[in-house]
Structure 1
Amino acid sequence: MNSITPVELQKKLENEEALPIIDVRETAEVKTGKIPGANNIPLGLLEFRMNELDKAMQYFVVCQSGGRSSQAVRFLEYQGFKVVNVDGGMSAWKGQLQ
């Protein structure tokens, strides 16, 4: 499983215009703040909303601490998507919030 730290992700965001980020936390958790531009698809809805994703793109998947995002990454990899887990999740995120 490919992974990246929140610090590495933040550096990528600073150097690139936009990265496709999927936040798999529940809606109520996202209300406390999310990475700017992240698309919220709760883990329980991922199976039903993966048609919104493009298999040609690489996605960065984040949750609160890294557990749910690693589940999402395994699921999406099995479906043929290119995904990277954000180790440590939002608990380790020091960047801006939206």
Structure 2
Amino acid sequence: MPDDGLVLDVREDDEWAAGRVEGALHVPMSSFVDRFGEVTEVLAERGRAYVMCRVGGRSAQVTQYLVQQGFDAVNVDGGMIAWENAGRPVVSDNGPGFVA
């Protein structure tokens, strides 16, 4: 993942706790609209959003919404499953994690 943006994780709390990209912003899709102001503040500082979920479906919807609002956003195809399968680091609430 390039260092030129923000990893935005839109999975639910239990998925986030099991394993995530270190430094990602967690905004579950179910509360995305309510927290949109928070997301836009971070994006104003960080630029591009790399949006991810478990496999890419929810993140595709959030990515489309962000693009429609004028933000630079990219869906991470394959989501956390692809991230972990590629051998990239994952952290959890209990240390090094895994995506179930």
**Bin of the TM-score, shorter chain as denominator length:** 0.7 to 0.9
Q: TM-score, normalised by structure 2?
A: 0.76
Q: TM-score, normalised by structure 1?
A: 0.78
Does residue 1:26 correspond to 2:12, yes or no?
yes
Aligned length: 84
Unaligned runs of 5+ in 2: 92-100
Equivalent position SS for 2:5: coil
In structure 1, C-alpha distance between the alignment counterparts of 2:5 and 2:13, rounded to whole Å: 21
Does residue 1:97 correspond to 2:83, yes or no?
no
Q: What are the within-5 Å matches in structure 2 for residues 11-90 of structure 1?
A: 12=2, 16=3, 19-52=5-38, 53-54=40-41, 56=44, 57-90=47-80
Bigger relative contact order, structure 1 or 2 (CA pairs below 8 A, ≥6 apart): 1
Unaligned runs of 5+ in 1: 1-8
Q: Cα distance, 1:19 vs. partner?
A: 3.4
Q: Cα distance, 1:33 vs. partner?
A: 0.7
Identity %: 38
Q: Cα distance, 1:47 vs. partner?
A: 1.1
C-alpha root-mean-square deviation of aligned residues, in Å? 1.5
1:34-60: CA deviation from partner (whole Å, max 9, x where unpaired): 001001100111111111124541111
